[in-house]
Amino acid sequence: MKKTVAGGLLALSALLLISGCTLPEIRSYPSVSIKGVVEDGSKETFRKIADATVWLIPAADVATMGKTPIEVKADAMNDEPLEDNLAANRGRYLNAKTNAKGEFGFADVAGGKYFVYVEPAGSTYLPGGDKSRKSLSTVELAAAPLLIKISGNVPPSATYIGSSACIACHEEQKNFTKTLHRLGMTVIGKPSKLQDFSRFPEFNKGLDKLMAGTKFWFYGYDKARGFDKYQISTKAPADAASVSFTATFFKDSDGTLKFRAENARDAKDPARVYTVDMTYGGGLYKQRYLVRVGANLFPFVQFNQNGNDSFADRTRKPWRDYHADWFYNEESRKLANPPQGKSFDKECASCHYSGYTLTKTAAGDYIAGSANDRNGEKDIDGDGRPNELNLGCETCHGPGSVHENAKEIDMPATIVSPNKLSAERAGVLCGQCHSRPQGFLKNDQPVNKDNKMMLPGTSRNVFLREYTTRADGADADFWADGLHSKGHHQPYSDLIKANKYRNGTQLVACSDCHEPHGNGKSLHQLKHDPKTAEVCTACHKNSTDMKQHIADKAKCTVDASKIACSDCHNAKTAQTGAGFGPGLIGKDGKNYWVNDISSHVYDVPRKDNKGVKGVAPGAAMPIPYTNKCGAACHDTRNL
């Protein structure tokens, strides 16, 4: 669904907001003629695309939009930098149609910089093109004929075939099996052939402790807290009366992991034994455990890889409660089974399974489905075929059945190529799950009225209109400044507020920094090692002198070889596991903390930030100033 700008005052205000007064160029560029061709596919296999409209979107207009506060809602007029500018200025922007040979031309283009954006005719192809992310000057545009590659689209009849079928032809992408997107959901003791754990030798550090036998005491119930209403300990608390129940994990004779729940307040309440089917995470920071209760799975208990029992903060210890309140009723003081409506299938699985579906049975259970794959993790829908219970190739490229059976010349038109989408469409592909919207199930699953996830290539606006009932996180998911994420899996929530998302030079998508196929140099699927400057200087080639940069920007004298760009520009504001331990000590003798999820706003949050200034150290937003690296010169007494 395209956005349109209505008439009258709304149209006027939109034009003032989006187009504004075109910013003057820092340097002048000549007026030129431009020509080029639009194709699909690769260098070897391609079709010329006829009847496509090629638009020249002034970079200055996009830069102007970038200076306005972004509206995070459906039908916003400034959250899709190219599509929103185009919606407001179709009558003003230069455009040209491609002929039968895919050729186009502009006779007289005013000097300046432009984003080149392609709108194909019909639905066979998707808008954007591989020239849509960087603005080009008229000098660059006229230097040689433009070759623009556009992405195909998935036909409505296409169905999921599983990643094994994809990798059989695209063997060069087999490192995908080593990524955390493929390892998140694992059947205990039975990893699938699509899972390679070699990069994560301590993946099951928590699981190993449970298999060896571990007893937990759940005590100090606090109904005001979120998912961790209980404190949890592997030792009996001093106050026995504060204990509600215990859970003893053990390896059964058949090799399965189970736990026995026992009521600490009512010895007559029969103990309950549950089987733990799968692990949920484990590569970085935390691991949870999916417990089988009838037809449903429920997450229970969180292991924090970097946790420490010496930390006073309960969220930073090795073990953390995760919805133990579903297994014990404080009002009746009886053990209980979790509510069916809180199952993993209904509450979480859509962002983990490839080709997610959801069915509610007559018994009230919610049964998820996903793509069948001969090497899938587990048969969850009872059809006798294993299902792919992690993200797969088709999560980002779309269902592949038509593509698999197409003639070679037709293949590019039948699959989505995210690197040929505009940055805003490529970004929302990741952002649907790496933000915190709510879908039509009224939870954090971004599904539509049919309980389906959006297909790759969908615009941000269609996603927000048709797949969400809340566009992003609640106020509590962000720090007091309303800008930086506090909750985990929200990097896209940050990115859309960053200058990198809306500017007149380069529109950044997740894949500009991350390598989704696992061919990069980082466990975080980054193209470069985040501990080095290269992760940023690969693009910011004029900022390679770190010593000079930190001296100019922060008057900092820290050894430049011991810090990276990300230490300041990607502050660890959000927490998913235990974090990275204490920061500096505040004036009350208590320490600030370093969390474990990087901000993607790409600013450097200052010490006068609302989330820091006047906030107790233990409750303050982590910023570079409160990190231990500043011990020699940062004074936290006045924060």
Each residue's pLDDT tens digit, 482-507: 999 999 999 999 999 999 999 999 99
Is 362 within the bounds of a domain? no
- Would you state the pLDDT for residue 4? 56
Give a yes or no: residue 455 inside a domain: yes
| Cα separation, 591 vs 585, whole angstroms | 4
**Position 7 pLDDT exceeds 50:** no
Residue 560 pLDDT grade (very low, low, confident, very high; cuts 50, 70, 90): confident
The per-residue pLDDT for range 234-251, each reduced to its tens digit, is 999 999 999 999 999 999
What pLDDT, on a 0 to 100 scale, did the predictor assign at position 372? Answer: 97
- CATH number at 91 reads 2.60.40.10
Please give the structure tokens belonging to residue 163.
């990643």
Inside any domain, residue 115: yes
Domain that holds residue 256: 185-346
Q: With 70 as the cut, is the pLDDT of residue 326 above it?
A: yes
pLDDT at 18: 40
Q: Higher model confidence: residue 557 or residue 367?
A: 367
- CA pair distance 130, 118, nearest whole angstrom: 9
Same domain as 310, residue 235: yes
pLDDT at 24 over 50: no
Domain assignment of residue 196, yes or no: yes
Mean pLDDT of the 151-167 span: 98
Same domain, 196 and 337: yes
> Which tens digits make up the pLDDT trace of 249-296?
999 999 999 999 999 999 999 999 999 999 999 999 999 999 999 999
- Domain stop point among 327, 346, 365: 346
- How many domains, in total, are found in the chain? 3
Q: Is the pLDDT reported for residue 22 higher than 50?
A: no
Distance CA 443, CA 278 (A): 22
Three-state secondary structure along 452-492? Answer: CCCCCCCCHHHHHHHHCCECCCCHHHECCCCCCECCCCCHH
329 and 425 in a single domain? The answer is no
Mean pLDDT confidence for 468-478: 97
Q: Is residue 356 part of a domain?
A: no
Residues 144 and 203 in one domain: no
Helix axis angle, 423-431 to 460-467, nearest 10°:
30
**What does the pLDDT read at residue 631?**
82
Report the pLDDT averaged over residues 332-349: 97
pLDDT of residue 549: 86
Mean pLDDT of all residues in 411-427: 98
Provide the pLDDT confidence category of residue 26 given band limits of 50, 70 and 90.
Answer: low
> Over the stretch 120-155, which tens digit does the pLDDT of each residue have?
999 999 999 999 999 999 999 999 999 999 999 999
Say if residue 12's pLDDT is above 70: no
Average model confidence (pLDDT) for the chain? 93
Residues 112 and 217 in one domain: no
Cβ-in-10-Å burial (0-12, 13-18, 19+) of 528 comes to: middle
Are 217 and 109 in the same domain?
Answer: no
**Which of 302, 321, 346 lies at the terminal end of a domain, its last residue?**
346
pLDDT (0 to 100) of residue 1: 56
From 33, 43, 31, 148, select the one nearest 98 (Cα to Cα). 148
pLDDT for residue 14: 43
- End residue of a domain, out of 452, 467, 491: 491
For residue 278, tell me if it sits in a domain: yes
Question: Looking at the predicted structure, is the pLDDT value of residue 353 above 80?
Answer: yes
Domain membership of residue 392 (yes or no) is: no
Residue 350 confidence class, pLDDT cut points 50, 70, 90: very high
Do residues 39 and 130 share a domain?
Answer: yes
Quickly list DSSP for 153-211. Answer: ---TT-----HHHHHHH-GGGGGGGGSHHHHSEEETT---TT---TT-TTTTHHHHHHH
Same domain, residue pair 434 and 564: no
Same domain, 126 and 201: no
The answer on 192 and 126 residing in a single domain is no
SS3 call for 13: helix
Six-digit token string for 303: 């292991």
Q: Are residues 232 and 293 in the same domain?
A: yes
Closest CA to 104 of 139, 148, 64, 69: 148
pLDDT band at 554 (very low <50, low <70, confident <90, very high): confident
Would you state the pLDDT for residue 155? 97
Rounded to whole angstroms, how far apart are CA atoms 189 and 192?
10
Please tell me whether residues 63 and 141 are part of one structural domain.
yes
The bridge status of strand 214-219 relative to strand 231-233 is antiparallel
Q: Are 632 and 638 in contact (CB under 8 A)?
A: no
C-alpha–C-alpha distance, residues 245 and 349, integer Å: 28
Q: Using one digit for the tens of pLDDT, what is the confidence trace for 392-408?
A: 999 999 999 999 999 99
Spacing of C-alpha 420 from chain mean position: 19
Per-residue pLDDT band at 558 (split at 50, 70, 90):
confident
Q: Decide if 58 is inside a domain.
A: yes
Q: Write out pLDDT tens, residues 49-91.
A: 999 999 999 999 999 999 999 999 999 999 999 999 999 999 9
